[in-house]
Structure 1
Amino acid sequence: MAEVVRTDDSESTSKHSEKPSVCPNLLVAAIDFGTAYSGYAFASHEDFIENPPKIRIPEWDRFQELRSLKTPTSILFNKDKKCVAFGYEAERKFTEMSEENKHEEYYYFEKFKMLLYKSEIEKDQKLTKRTELSDINGKKMKATDVFSAAIMCLKEHLENELKKTGVSQEEEDNIRWVLTLPAIWGDDAKQFMRDAAVEAGIKDGCLKIALEPEAASMYCKKQPLVHSNREIHAFEPGSRYLIMDAGGGTVDVTIHTILKNGKIEEVDSASGGAWGGTYLDRKFLEMFEDILGKEVFEKYKKENLADYISICKTLELGKRNFSNSSTHLEIKIPESMIMLCKGLNTNLVDLIKKSTFQEHVKCTRAKLTLSFRCVDNLFAEVCNGIVDHISKLLGKHQEQKIKTVLMVGGFSESQYLQDKMKNAFPNIEMVTPNDAGLAVLKGAVLYGHDPKAIVSRIARFSYGVSSLVRYDVKKHSPQKNKIVDDVEYCTDLFSKHITKGEKLNIDEAQACQTYSPVSKAQTSIRFCVYKSEDTDPKYIDDEGCRFVGHFDVDIPDSTDGADREVLVSFMHGNTELKVEAKNLKTNKVTEHKFSFDENLHDGKQYAFQGQ
């Protein structure tokens, strides 16, 4: 049993390896793995230095010769759990099989990315390698298999496109890959996606994680922005602006400032919530549940899956086009829903009259007509959360007088959301780029070529490790008193390395701490990492503290007994949390990856677990 001892009581999986070599970035390829839609883009160094940079986004086949720059984040597996289709092709194949009632043995997943955000906000949704996803019919597969297969599909599509453009094998072998993720995701979700990308065939040392609002910020900085027919100068040195990335799942918000050298600095830590476009879709579907009854609608979905998918697509299109100037919204009803009602000896007209939507939804022929007030109420449940959050942030930074809000992401293309924001903040310039839905993807390519364009970030949490110090009855709780080798220790101390709200410069280590083993015979130390919403947590089980992961440091030479010190450094200025450990006797420095499994009883030595 190995335990960690702090050498002082100041306030101030793990696989480990030497620092991975960074691959030469002859070509940067970015994957925007979205909740509703995904895509990729790439640019060579020559493309990057053009003004403006030349970013290539190949098209996806849609249907009937239509083409799109993104494809649905939908994936289809056969009964052997082998991927057979992705994107529009997966939608098409699954719909056809559903119409012929041949879909039961298949696994169809869509909009599954939000599982990774749930692991951050719900304590019972801990993300591990054993985490499973439920498909559209409730059948389960390992989440790692689903995510890695989806990334592999995007990767292979990109590689096929590169072959068409005459990219050399050397360039293809040394691509710098960039994967976009929401800034409000947890460390375990970031590591999960990195592992999935590596499993999909992307070299670990050639992969960078880009935070979505930062990528969008970099892209907007390179573009001429116009508001009310005049150019916006949001990116002059000293200027501050709020950037809001409203995607399918989350809304990511942060505040940036431009330094004299043109670099970008984060002013406030990223924040946001689950207010993306797919949650508005869910509100529309809840309307159908209210009208038909939840059990009946679930039965309809199961027995008429192709028509259910068609309804979802109709809702998505209607959502995009709805605005404050709209008078109503029409939704086409499949014949199968009308027949379902007949089978229940009723009809949609009568069911609507019995529902809470009786005054605002009308049924004529094969369509529903929703009044403006009805749709406005559905939008409000989602959009009010966005407006309230932006209002709090602007109030918090009132002295800085933020004049511009950049609205990016697919949901920001909603005219209703744009109108809502303009009405809520009449004195703020609300700027939506023409290609708001591609801003993150294009910006991720820029980030891959220039990752040091973002020079610092603000810590969203305090970070530290579980440790021990000599027990002091005046300082420590009696419940934390533990005797090891006839010595009294205080257990479960939160040994802080990073403070919430702290400015974190890239490639710069935060507070370093020195640790040593408790037992003279220890040959390794397990460090359990925790984060806290508090700026100065005392114990790892304080309210607001949460386990992040663990890593092991080998100290095989036990000739010096417990007198073997390890210097631990946290680096969180980049997009991912990294830890370095230096054996002060051998001067060997190793960089450590986390294991995010909370099941620590795996035979390895660790700090005060199970004793």
Structure 2
Amino acid sequence: MEKAAAGLSGLTVSEDVDRKILIAVDFGTTFSGVAWAQTRRPDVQTIIIQWPDASSGGLEGVSSDKVPTELRYEDNECRWGFQVDDFGLRHQWFKLDLDPSQSRDISDLSRQYPDQHALPPGYNASAEKLCTDYLAALRTHTEKVLQHKLPASIIKSTPIEYIITVPAVWTDQAQALTRACAFNAGMGKDLQIISEPEAAAIYALHAMDPHSIEVGDTFVLCDAGGGTVDLISYKVTALKPILKVEEASPGSGRLCGSTFLNRIFQKFLTDKLSLNEEWDEEVVEDAMKRFDLVTKKAFKGDVNEEFIIPVPGLADDPTQGVRRGKYKLKGSDLKQIFDPVVAEVLSLVQGQIASPHHLGRAPKAVLMVGGFGQSAYLRETLRKALPPGIEVMQPPNGWTAVVRGALMKGLSALSPETERVKVASRVARKHYGTEIMSRYDSGKHAKATAWWDDYDGEMKVFDMSWFIVKGAPVNESVPYVRKYHKVWKVAEGPRQTVAQDILMCPDTEDRGAPIYKDGADVRHLARLKADLSCIPQGELLQKMGKDGRMYYVVYYEIEMTYYSASTKYALVYKGRDETERKGMKGEHPRCKRDEMKPTECRNFSISSGNG
């Protein structure tokens, strides 16, 4: 069976909306989830809960809200998810290798407690291949499920569109690679990308009691999963007709998810019992399953409580607490297992609360989602440590909040009448701009960078024009337009193209936006081109410069549109809309795109993390 997601009951979509099937994919570090719906029935949102296992290649094997993000290649066959058994090495955490800044080895926990079964990054396969193979397996399984749930005529005639989630702290290149992997996995060109904490916030705020929310309230969303913990803060700006929020502070995150509880427990158990003559890998497997599925979820912090861990086959040893194949795990020991990981999460939450973007006003609540976010001990620890008046809440269906929220946002993009929670603006996470020619200013520019411009008859410099600066609010889906022009001598003849580079700067040390392109951390993001060869030479504007010579002058605009986790750029010449533009395209390193004919024009979309 499948599970119906809490959603938008009673809503219908007008008949003029084309029927589509939307499939949301929460591509997680340790577990992934899938939800789907039809645009004409947005009130029926379904979570896939049946997955193939090692003994069954069919649709049904294991029942779970999510499937492990793991791969193993055996005899030219790619096993994935629950098909990967607990013995032997496997590929894990490969999603993180799409973004070197989120390396699986950057946290203290990952260095202290490595997974003994994980293959090293890049072993026999690149991160792109691993992600593509995993997403392809996930897509194939999902579409097989749909074939059993919907009539064949609907499957054949209805377009399928995918939505995939990425961490809020993902770099532009990592988001572009994620899109490329999903495309190569068969998820189509019209893929939507949504940030994980934003998707979780949409669902969590929708699930809350609306009577407890007021305009001006701020909330910290803590998405605590198996590998990573991501946080972001939102401020309520409107309640009706829909709940509107804006980002109150940029996202933050760290590798400190619940997987580290498993690793610490395994080390604890090995140190405690491995000298027993019957100790082997099967004992570890049974103990780990009990800890993962039962013990760590049941722990509330009582140090006097005892938990039974199966250790089948071990000889009785009263001094070690082993009797009849069972080990008594003390609550005090379990607390020591939890505390290093919980301390990392608490530090992240406190950092969000102390963010200057909150302007000294404490958030109303911390909303806990994700698998680890459902931990009773984590919840109670946060409640005790945070200032009075800040509630710690666990919305229902927290483990699947990301994929549910992603599906809700995808539906609302196609059918605005279904929208119930809207993220109206976000905080830019980087500077975005272009290099331009500016008038020399002795108070701003270095004299060595100046040069004489014959056309305007004055000193000029090449410096940066930042159209978005880090920390500034960025509106959802509203194009930002900046005007530019290029000048060259008529004697040089007409040019074939006009190009403009888009640059960005993460400004990790918050030193402010650099003045020059060669400033610290300024990086190339995309190149926009306009093909001028189709314009008759006589139509190009000519002006006389201050030096008495004639010059071609081309005026154009750059449009920037920022979405949840992607950005679209377009170069517009003579105000022509997209259907009239000729040969304009964007190019991004390492991001695969379709080849376009000379007279064809499309906007080029790249992932840029909303700044």
* TM-score normalised by length of structure 1: 0.71
2:285 and 2:95 map into 1 onto residues whose CA distance is 18
Question: Does structure 1 residue 158 correspond to structure 2 residue 149?
Answer: no
Question: Does structure 1 residue 261 correspond to structure 2 residue 241?
Answer: yes
Amino acid corresponding to residue 183 of structure 2 in structure 1: V
Range 305-314 or range 213-222, more displaced: 305-314
Distance 1:469 1:77, change over 3 A: farther
Distance 1:369 1:88, change over 3 A: same
Amino acid corresponding to residue 325 of structure 1 in structure 2: D
Q: Match for residue 385 of structure 1?
A: 344
How do residues 358-397 of structure 1 correspond to structure 2 at under 5 angstroms?
A: 364=322, 372-395=331-354, 396=356, 397=358
Q: Match for residue 379 of structure 2?
A: 418
* 2:259 aligned to which of 251, 261, 278: 278
Q: Quote the RMSD (CA, aligned, Å).
A: 4.3
Distance 1:307 1:189, change over 3 A: farther
Q: Match for residue 76 of structure 1?
A: 72
Amino acid corresponding to residue 434 of structure 1 in structure 2: P
Q: Match for residue 494 of structure 1?
A: 464
Deviations 1:302-340 (A, max 9, x none): xx98887767655534433333125466766698xx99x
Q: Match for residue 449 of structure 1?
A: 411
Deviations 1:546-578 (A, max 9, x none): 425222414453966763344222222443121
2:47 and 2:93 map into 1 onto residues whose CA distance is 25
Amino acid corresponding to residue 228 of structure 2 in structure 1: T
Compute the displacement of 1:162 (Å): 0.9
Q: Match for residue 605 of structure 2?
A: none
Distance 1:597 1:45, change over 3 A: closer
Deviations 1:421-444 (A, max 9, x none): 111124222111232101111121
Amino acid corresponding to residue 430 of structure 2 in structure 1: F
* 2:523 aligned to which of 547, 564, 572: 547
Tell me the percent identity.
Answer: 24
Q: Match for residue 596 of structure 2?
A: none
2:464 and 2:281 map into 1 onto residues whose CA distance is 51
Q: Match for residue 183 of structure 1?
A: 168
Distance 1:572 1:285, change over 3 A: farther
Q: Match for residue 570 of structure 1?
A: 560
8 Å CA contact 1:248, 1:410 repeated in 2: yes
Q: Match for residue 10 of structure 1?
A: none
SS in 1 for 2:570: strand
Compute the displacement of 1:66 (Å): 5.0
2:230 and 2:223 map into 1 onto residues whose CA distance is 5
2:454 and 2:212 map into 1 onto residues whose CA distance is 62
- Structure 2 gaps, min length 5: 1-16, 56-60, 107-115, 275-279, 417-421, 541-550, 592-611
* 1:220 aligned to which of 189, 204, 213: 204
8 Å CA contact 2:96, 2:102 repeated in 1: no
SS in 2 for 1:563: strand
1:201 and 1:537 map into 2 onto residues whose CA distance is 40
Amino acid corresponding to residue 527 of structure 1 in structure 2: D
Q: Match for residue 34 of structure 1?
A: 28
Range 496-505 or range 555-564, more displaced: 555-564
2:524 and 2:470 map into 1 onto residues whose CA distance is 15
Amino acid corresponding to residue 486 of structure 2 in structure 1: S
8 Å CA contact 1:581, 1:590 repeated in 2: no
1:277 and 1:506 map into 2 onto residues whose CA distance is 33
Deviations 1:54-96 (A, max 9, x none): 434342245896521211111222465x53x21101336xx3x
* 2:299 aligned to which of 302, 311, 322: 322
1:309 and 1:465 map into 2 onto residues whose CA distance is 55
Distance 1:379 1:562, change over 3 A: farther
Q: Match for residue 606 of structure 2?
A: none
Deviations 1:97-136 (A, max 9, x none): x4xxxx8xxxx31222222344368999xxxxxxxxx993
2:272 and 2:98 map into 1 onto residues whose CA distance is 32
Amino acid corresponding to residue 258 of structure 2 in structure 1: G
Could you say which structure has the greater relative contact order, defined with CA pairs below 8 angstroms and 6 or more residues apart?
Answer: 1
SS in 2 for 1:252: strand
Q: Match for residue 90 of structure 1?
A: 84
1:488 and 1:308 map into 2 onto residues whose CA distance is 74
2:300 and 2:569 map into 1 onto residues whose CA distance is 48
8 Å CA contact 2:230, 2:251 repeated in 1: yes
SS in 1 for 2:143: helix
* Equivalent residue pairs, number: 512
Compute the displacement of 1:242 (Å): 2.2
Q: Match for residue 432 of structure 2?
A: 463
Compute the displacement of 1:404 (Å): 2.0
8 Å CA contact 1:549, 1:597 repeated in 2: no
8 Å CA contact 1:252, 1:270 repeated in 2: no
1:247 and 1:398 map into 2 onto residues whose CA distance is 29
Compute the displacement of 1:415 (Å): 1.9
1:548 and 1:67 map into 2 onto residues whose CA distance is 45
2:246 and 2:309 map into 1 onto residues whose CA distance is 43
8 Å CA contact 2:22, 2:161 repeated in 1: yes
* TM-score normalised by length of structure 2: 0.71
2:212 and 2:237 map into 1 onto residues whose CA distance is 9
Amino acid corresponding to residue 231 of structure 2 in structure 1: V
2:412 and 2:204 map into 1 onto residues whose CA distance is 15
Compute the displacement of 1:140 (Å): 2.8
Q: Match for residue 128 of structure 2?
A: 144
SS in 2 for 1:507: coil
Q: Match for residue 509 of structure 1?
A: 479
1:596 and 1:380 map into 2 onto residues whose CA distance is 42
2:481 and 2:459 map into 1 onto residues whose CA distance is 27
Distance 1:564 1:185, change over 3 A: same
SS in 2 for 1:140: coil
2:213 and 2:269 map into 1 onto residues whose CA distance is 45
Amino acid corresponding to residue 161 of structure 1 in structure 2: V
Compute the displacement of 1:238 (Å): 5.0
Distance 1:37 1:119, change over 3 A: same
Range 493-502 or range 408-417, more displaced: 493-502
8 Å CA contact 1:245, 1:407 repeated in 2: yes
Amino acid corresponding to residue 150 of structure 2 in structure 1: G
Deviations 1:199-246 (A, max 9, x none): 1112212x21122222222223333x4xxxxx6734455543222111
Q: Match for residue 595 of structure 1?
A: 588
- Structure 1 gaps, min length 5: 1-22, 125-133, 226-230, 294-303, 340-347, 350-360, 599-611
